[in-house]
Amino acid sequence: MSDLTAGAVLPARRPGLPYAVVIVLLLALLGAAGTAAIAAGSVALPAEQVWSILLHRIHPALADQTWTAVRETIVMDVRLPRVLLAAVIGAGLSVCGMALQALVRNPLADPMLLGVSSGASVGAVTVVVFSLTVFGAFSLPIAAFLGALAALVAVYFLARSGGRMTTVRLVLAGVAMAEVLSAVASFLVVTSNDPHKTQSAVRWMLGGLAGTTWTTVWIPAAAVLAGTVVLLAVSRPLNLLLAGEEAASSLGLDVHRFRAALFVLVAMMIGTIVAVSGAIGFVGLIMPHVVRLLIGADHRRALPATALLGAAFLVMADLVARTLITPEEIPVGIITALVGGPFFLWLMRRRSK
Amino acid sequence: MKLIVEDVSVQIGDRYLVSDVSLEVADGEVLGVAGPNGAGKSTLLRTLYRVRRPTSGRVLLDGEDIWKMPAGWLARRLAAVLQESSGDFELTVYDVVAMGRTPHKRAFDGDNAGDKAIIADALDRLDVAGLAYAPFDRLSGGEKQRVLIARALAQQPATMVLDEPTNHLDLRHQLDALNLVSALGVTAVVALHDLNMAAAFCDRICVMDGGRVVALGTPAEVLTPALLSDVYRVEADVAMHPKTGVPHVTLHTGGSRVTN
């Protein structure tokens, strides 16, 4: 290869906001959403008191205690774990959505559209309805995880023909799989004789974060963090997938092995997430699109941004879900679907132009 | 880098797409691959850039069997320019060209100043620097083709495989692209439909028909009225161009034979 021509310079800067500014704005949004979500509720707390309590917990010297022990309990044991879980799940669904969209090279792929969450539902509902305790306290998340993995693998192989996976077949296989598995889950719920079990199974399927405690936060948080780090490590190969299968191969990617490994990773993340939250739709579909519109499709830049945006979005959605018609709580999956459905249609119309 | 194709066959079911092809491309040589539609040109090229595994035979680059080496090993030595691809994602031209650096990078490596200079240079050479932040999907066919050649340049390969790299390009950009490839001094295998372009830019031409190599040699040796009649079923004159000294094919447009 010959020498570089001297003075080859890029003409214009990438249009739009600089990346660092976008990240700072998203962090500010997440901070504001988190503060509002901890402050709001049956006992309303001023924002500065929320921060004082949090800072005091980090180190007592950072803030003087001027509040009651009850308020500290509300912040630390009731609202903070729930807000953290919402952030973790929002971030996890968004990065999984973005990875899946690259993996199947279809911008309409979503964890919930590919039958993955229905698979998790069948696993979780089976555990609830039959009171299975094979894996002790972790029976439900493990069953949901296995269900998600099974569904994703089934969809993956149904969508392949002659060694190639076409996006049309993938979406069709995903929709069919989701329908069948939802029917199985519904059947299990309806035929269960125990109304208590039925109610908890239905609650679970609608998706919600009610009753979150610290014990439910750790496993999904660890899974999402680890999974996101892995996805960041493979962000260049993810970019190659957008170029198409042959181009990706010629650029040094073992496409089939990479896809298979990533499917397993994403299924693990989604399974873990869905196990604690139920099926929360549309987050994984919308957030990647908004981020691509803001800063482009390069995964090295888009993955961190989509994680932050997804976290902030679900924290806000969960805040609406639990405060809109207090004291009743709406499953957060209903809120995200109400926002996401119209967005999906808008996107569809925009693409067909 | 020397590229050797050794008895390569590609079989699907009982049909041979490529059958017993053997070629040697010397270091720095530009080999043109010509032939009618369905002759097996693209399939042969796919065995070179590691997308279609030969049913039998070997492809050796620098003495190594490319199908036994890791995919990344080949991508650092050989770049492919494929027929245009597109997707529904908001990739910019810059993003697409920057992909060419991937084979040289590990996980979490950023693009350093050297990478950025290579990307900017590739954009500049293919005359697409002004489109750097335009969405790739909205470009014309010819612009996309130039971007994909720029991506191959950013790979900094010693060998290039190009499948019809000029079919969407206007005359100026066809000449520029082929001049660029020969000026790079890389070993290149180029599938071309335009025989006059092939004659002007290739050291040797390999003509395929029905999956087999039916002629291989310098443009003057290969491009004969007899061959054009046998392989393409057209009547044509071949004359030495008075200024460039390369063979020039002129079709008898009225006399093409329709045999089926």
A296·B99 Cβ contact <8 A:
no
Rounded mean pLDDT of B102-112? 88
More confident residue, B117 or A5: B117
Which of the 8 DSSP states describes residue A297? Answer: S
Q: What is the pLDDT along chain A (353 residues), one digit of tens a residue?
A: 333 444 444 545 666 788 999 999 999 999 999 999 999 988 889 999 999 999 998 888 888 888 888 898 899 988 999 999 999 999 999 999 999 899 888 887 887 777 878 898 898 888 888 888 777 777 877 888 888 888 888 887 887 766 666 667 777 888 899 899 989 988 998 888 888 888 878 877 777 787 788 888 998 999 999 999 999 999 999 999 998 888 999 999 988 888 878 877 888 888 888 888 888 888 998 899 889 888 889 999 999 999 999 999 999 999 999 998 877 888 898 899 888 888 878 876 775 55
pLDDT of residue B10: 95
SS3 B56: strand
Q: What span, in angstroms and rounded, lies between the C-alpha atoms of B121 and B139?
A: 20
Q: What span, in angstroms and rounded, lies between the C-alpha atoms of B93 and B99?
A: 10
Whether B64 and B76 have beta carbons less than 8 Å apart is answered as no
The class level of CATH for B1-77+157-232 reads alpha beta
Whether B162 and B191 have beta carbons less than 8 Å apart is answered as yes
**Is the pLDDT at B3 greater than 50, yes or no?**
yes
pLDDT above 90: percentage of residues in chain B? 69
A244·B91 Cβ contact <8 A:
no
pLDDT digits (tens, 9 = 90+) for B135-144: 898 888 889 9
B61, B95, B164: best to mutate for the A interface, most A CBs within 10 A: B95
pLDDT of residue B74: 94
Q: What span, in angstroms and rounded, lies between the C-alpha atoms of A331 and A308?
A: 22
Across the interface, of B103, B133, B186, the residue whose CB is closest to A252 is B103
Structure tokens belonging to residue A73: 């309990």
Query: What dotted CATH number matches A85-348?
Result: 1.10.3470.10
B99·A8 Cβ contact <8 A:
no
A251·B75 Cβ contact <8 A:
yes
Whether B23 and B213 have beta carbons less than 8 Å apart is answered as yes
Q: Which helix (H) or strand (E) holds A265?
A: helix A255-277
Q: Which of A339, A176, A337, A165 lies closest to A241, judged by CA?
A: A165
Q: What span, in angstroms and rounded, lies between the C-alpha atoms of B206 and B40?
A: 12
More confident residue, B254 or B29: B29
Amino acid at A100: L
Domain segments of chain B: what residues? Answer: 1-77+157-232, 87-155
Q: Tell which B residues from 34 to 63 touch A, by Cβ distance under 8 Å.
A: 46, 49-51
Q: Which of A277, A267, A285 lies closest to A340, judged by CA?
A: A285
B121·A254 Cβ contact <8 A:
no
B105 touches chain A (CB under 8 A): yes
SS3 A258: helix
Closest approach of A283 to chain B, Cα-based (Å):
18
| Cβ-based contacts of A242 with chain B (< 8 Å) | 87, 89, 91
pLDDT of residue A251: 93
B121·A250 Cβ contact <8 A:
no
**Could you identify the residue written with the tokens 């549309």?**
A282
pLDDT digits (tens, 9 = 90+) for B197-228: 999 999 999 999 999 999 999 999 999 999 99
Q: How many residues does chain B have?
A: 260
Q: What span, in angstroms and rounded, lies between the C-alpha atoms of A60 and B110?
A: 40
**Is the pLDDT at B251 greater than 70, yes or no?**
yes
| Cβ-based contacts of A233 with chain B (< 8 Å) | 107-108
Rounded to whole angstroms, what are the CA distances from B87 to A22, A107, A128, B140? 25, 9, 42, 14
Across the interface, of B74, B125, B129, the residue whose CB is closest to A10 is B129
Q: What span, in angstroms and rounded, lies between the C-alpha atoms of A149 and B111?
A: 35
pLDDT of residue A333: 87
| Cβ-based contacts of B108 with chain A (< 8 Å) | 232-233
User: Nearest residue on chain A to B28, judged by CA atoms?
Assistant: A1
B72 touches chain A (CB under 8 A): yes
A252·B98 Cβ contact <8 A:
no
pLDDT digits (tens, 9 = 90+) for B177-194: 999 998 888 999 999 999
Q: Which helix (H) or strand (E) holds A25?
A: helix A19-39
SS3 B247: strand
Q: What span, in angstroms and rounded, lies between the C-alpha atoms of B164 and B233?
A: 21
Q: How confident is the model at residue B257 (pLDDT cuts 50, 70, 90)?
A: low
Q: What span, in angstroms and rounded, lies between the C-alpha atoms of B184 and B186?
A: 5
Q: What span, in angstroms and rounded, lies between the C-alpha atoms of A248 and A254?
A: 8
Rounded to whole angstroms, what are the CA distances from A124 to A170, A220, B13? 24, 15, 45
Extended beta strands in chain A, E state: 160-161, 164-165
pLDDT of residue B98: 93
Whether A98 and A302 have beta carbons less than 8 Å apart is answered as yes
How would you write B73-132 as a 3-class SS string? HHHCCEEEECCCCCCCCCCEHHHHHHHHHHHHCCCCCCCCHHHHHHHHHHHHHCCCHHHC
**In whole numbers, what is the pLDDT of chain B averaged over residues?**
90
Q: What span, in angstroms and rounded, lies between the C-alpha atoms of A34 and A93?
A: 18
Whether A217 and A84 have beta carbons less than 8 Å apart is answered as yes
Whether A279 and A117 have beta carbons less than 8 Å apart is answered as yes
Q: What span, in angstroms and rounded, lies between the C-alpha atoms of B121 and A7?
A: 9
